[in-house]
């Protein structure tokens, strides 16, 4: 084995090892780039190995950081984050809950379906996977438990729908992935529309079938308001603003009216107006939303800065060729190689957030995928679904972790584990469908302007 290969592997292994210390991921990445540059220099000077990494090489990280700074596409990130946080504070979610419950409450399993629809409509909230899980848990969990829903069904729904948000466009994860792979953000957004709808559709079908088979898992409330014009109008008034906002953002990208950055800015403005109209906007709310925008943006970009230096040094050590050689050397057909990548990603997703995986792993494997002749939009969408699934998976799914933090004490971890299992199966079914039927991801993007 070449010394460079050993160094690359060590660099990767130390990263995985060190994150379990709980030290911030961003600085582990950045710090390791320094540590391994130093080791390479020592090996070079004292032992005479030629590694090809020294301070001059690692200082190129500054230019890479500058590329991130003057990147107009990434301006969309803080704006989408602001939009999501503002939408969260705008009272839109609570409005949706009260109105949709009245409409769907009469259907068996209706509350779970309501939570699913809200999750899809508020997918923009999910800059951080935790935010949507927490929002849905606070909003939907008490109502479902009050109405005698089986605990497993209630928590499973919240976890699954909450993690779905990182996939549904407009999603900041997709913005970041598109940027790293030099793809069009619009294409990726549109590529994820049908897969996202497919998954939420699968959830709803499951809820309907399951509650029909096990009626006591989801009792129908005794007193039901009749459906009248007032109720329909109420539902319409609650659904229209967030749905309109999301359609406006996606639509303006689709029809080429605005760039994703502009759409994000206008969306953020729209969310602020919604909050104003709902009388939820005050100086205090604005200040909190802005502060939260700062921290959320900063923790993403901190990892960005660290990962830039880390990837640079890893590449200098020859980590790229190592990965490519290893993947292409697998004794599988091209499809088998893709499946191996997905399995690897799935496992990494147990303990790494989407940010690190999109920044480090995705750029490493993407060239291999393109070499093998696969469509990059399709692959990225499949990759994203795979990542989202792994956040649901015990023992360390992020969604589970966040839910445990806000769920009432009578919900223990075992209940959550049991609750998410059916949804993991649904996810895998969805993944298989998108994998086999790639038109789901590639059909819509070809119509963009």
Partner 1 sequence: MDPLSLTKSEAEQRRLPQTRLSLLISRGLDRVASVVSCIWVLLLLIIVVNVTARYVFGEGRIEFEEAQWHLYAMGFLLGLSICFDSDDHIRVDVIHDQLSLRAKAWIELYGLLLLFFPFVTLVLVFSIPFVQYSFTIGEISSAPGGLPYRWIIKSALFIGFALLAVAGIGRLSRVSACLFAVPRGAPNR
Task: Quickly tell me which residue has 């998410």 as its tokens.
Answer: 420
Nearest CA to 32 out of 53, 47, 11 is that of: 11
Q: In this complex, which beta carbon is closest to partner 1, that of residue 28 or of residue 322?
A: 28
Q: What residues between 312 and 351 interact with partner 1 by CB under 8 A? A: 351
Residue of the chain from 53, 89, 118, 218 that contacts partner 1 (CB under 8 A): 89
Cβ neighbour number for residue 38 with a 10 Å cutoff: 14
Q: How near is the Cβ of 438 to partner 1 at its closest, in Å?
A: 33
Alpha helices in 147-277 (DSSP H): 151-164, 172-180, 185-213, 229-254, 260-277
Q: Which stretch binds partner 1 (CB under 8 A): 150-158, 179-187, 288-296, 410-418?
A: 288-296
| C-alpha span between 395 and 350 (Å, rounded) | 8
Q: Is 174 in the site for partner 1 (CB under 8 A)?
A: no
The DSSP output letter for 222 is S
- Closest contact distance (angstroms) between CB of 23 and partner 1 is 4
**Touching partner 1, residues 264-283 (CB under 8 A):** 264-266, 268-269, 272
Tell me the C-alpha distance between 81 and 24, whole Å. Answer: 21
Residues written for the chain: 449
The single-letter DSSP state of residue 50 is -
Of 449, 438, 313, the closest CA to residue 379 belongs to: 438
Burial of 10 (0-12, 13-18, 19+ CB in 10 A): middle
Here the tokens at position 27 are: 């600085």
Q: Of 5-13, 202-210, 301-309, 436-444, which part binds partner 1 (CB under 8 A)?
A: 301-309
Q: Does 291 bind partner 1 (CB under 8 A)?
A: yes
Contact set for partner 1, span 198-257 (CB under 8 A): none
Q: How far is the CB of 277 from partner 1 (least distance, A)?
A: 17
88 binds partner 1 (CB under 8 A): yes
- Our CB check for partner 1 shows the closer of 10 and 220 to be 10
For the bound state, the minimum distance from the C-beta of residue 130 to partner 1, rounded and expressed in Å, comes to 5
* Minimum separation from the CB atom of position 231 to partner 1 (A): 27
Interface pick for partner 1 out of 205, 232, 247, 298 (rule CB under 8 A):
298
Interacting span for partner 1 (CB under 8 A) from 94-102, 206-214, 293-301, 376-384: 293-301
Does 135 help bind partner 1 (rule: CB under 8 A)?
A: yes
**Nearest one of 418, 405, 391, 422 to 152, comparing CA atoms:** 418
Which residues in the 98-127 window bind partner 1 by CB under 8 A? none
Q: Using the rule CB under 8 A, is 297 a contact of partner 1?
A: yes
Q: Which stretch binds partner 1 (CB under 8 A): 17-25, 42-50, 184-192, 384-392?
A: 17-25
User: Could you tell me the two tokens for 329?
Assistant: 């050397």
Burial of 55 (0-12, 13-18, 19+ CB in 10 A): exposed
| Residue 305 makes contact with partner 1 by CB under 8 A | yes
Token pair of 282 as six digits: 């005050």
- With binding defined as CB under 8 A, does residue 134 bind partner 1? yes
- Please check whether residue 353 is in contact with residue 391, taking contact to mean a CB–CB distance below 8 angstroms: no
Residues in region 390-419 near partner 1 by CB under 8 A: 396, 402, 405-406
* Choice between 224 and 396, CB closer to partner 1: 396
Separation of alpha carbons 162 and 122, rounded Å? 10
> Residue 54, Cβ neighbours under 10 Å: how many?
15
Q: Answer yes or no whether residue 130 interacts with partner 1 by CB under 8 A.
A: yes
Single out the residue of 126, 171, 200, 292 in contact with partner 1 (rule: CB under 8 A).
292
- Interface residues for partner 1 in 349-378 (CB under 8 A)? 351-353, 355
d(Cα 92, Cα 118) in Å, to the nearest integer? 10
Q: Which is nearer to partner 1, 211 or 358 (CB)?
A: 358
Residue ranges in 27-46 that form contacts with partner 1 under rule CB under 8 A: 27-28, 30-35
- Tell me the C-alpha distance between 366 and 280, whole Å: 44
Position among 74, 155, 202, 359 found at the interface with partner 1 (CB under 8 A): 74
- Which residue in 118, 207, 235, 258 binds partner 1 (CB under 8 A)? 258
Q: How far is the CB of 216 from partner 1 (least distance, A)?
A: 31
- Phi/psi region, residue 298 (left: phi>0; alpha: psi -120 to 50; beta: rest), is alpha
- Residue from 232, 247, 290, 370 touching partner 1 (CB under 8 A): that is 290
Shortest distance (Å) from residue 413 CB to partner 1 = 12
- Rounded CA gap, 436 and 379, in Å? 12
Can residue 24 be called a binding residue for partner 1 (CB under 8 A)? Answer: yes
CB atoms within 10 A of CB 73: 17
């Amino acid at each position: 084995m070449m010394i460079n290969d050993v160094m690359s592997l060590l660099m990767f292994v130390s990263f995985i090892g060190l994150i379990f210390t709980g030290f911030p991921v961003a600085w582990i990445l950045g710090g390791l780039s320094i540590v391994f540059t130093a080791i390479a220099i020592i090996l070079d000077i004292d032992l005479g190995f030629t590694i090809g990494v020294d301070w001059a090489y690692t200082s190129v990280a500054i230019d890479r950081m500058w590329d991130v700074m003057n990147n107009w596409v990434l301006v969309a990130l803080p704006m989408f984050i602001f939009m999501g946080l503002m939408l969260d504070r705008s009272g839109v979610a609570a409005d949706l809950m009260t109105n949709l419950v009245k409409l769907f409450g009469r259907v068996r399993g209706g509350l779970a379906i309501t939570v699913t629809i809200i999750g899809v409509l508020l997918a923009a909230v999910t800059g951080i996977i935790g935010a949507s899980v927490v929002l849905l848990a606070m909003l939907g969990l008490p109502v479902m438990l009050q109405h005698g829903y089986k605990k497993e069904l209630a928590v499973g729904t919240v976890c699954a729908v909450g993690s779905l948000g990182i996939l549904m466009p407009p999603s900041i994860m997709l913005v970041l992935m598109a940027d790293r792979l030099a793809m069009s953000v619009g294409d990726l957004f549109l590529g994820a529309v049908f897969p996202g709808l497919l998954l939420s559709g699968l959830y709803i079908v499951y809820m309907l079938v399951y509650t029909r088979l096990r009626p006591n898992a989801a009792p129908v409330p005794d007193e039901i308001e009749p459906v009248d014009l007032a109720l329909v109008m109420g539902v319409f008034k609650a659904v229209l603003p967030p749905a309109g906002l999301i359609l406006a953002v996606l639509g303006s990208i689709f029809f080429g009216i605005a760039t994703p950055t502009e759409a994000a800015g206008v969306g953020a403005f729209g969310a602020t107006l919604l909050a104003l109209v709902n009388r939820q906007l005050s100086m205090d709310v604005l200040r909190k939303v802005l502060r939260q925008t700062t921290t959320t943006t900063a923790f993403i970009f901190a990892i960005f800065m660290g990962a830039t230096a880390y990837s640079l040094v890893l590449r200098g050590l020859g980590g790229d060729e190592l990965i490519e050689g290893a993947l292409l050397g697998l004794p599988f057909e091209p499809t088998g190689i893709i499946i191996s990548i997905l399995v690897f990603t799935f496992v990494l997703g147990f303990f790494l957030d989407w940010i690190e995986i999109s920044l480090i792993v995705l750029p490493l494997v993407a060239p291999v995928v393109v070499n093998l002749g696969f469509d990059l939009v399709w692959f990225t969408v499949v990759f994203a679904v795979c990542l989202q699934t792994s956040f649901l998976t015990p023992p360390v799914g992020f969604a589970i972790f966040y839910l445990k933090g806000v769920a009432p004490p009578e919900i223990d971890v075992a209940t959550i584990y049991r609750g998410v299992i059916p949804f993991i199966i649904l996810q895998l079914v969805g993944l298989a469908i998108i994998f086999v039927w790639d038109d789901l991801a590639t059909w819509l993007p070809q119509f963009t302007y």
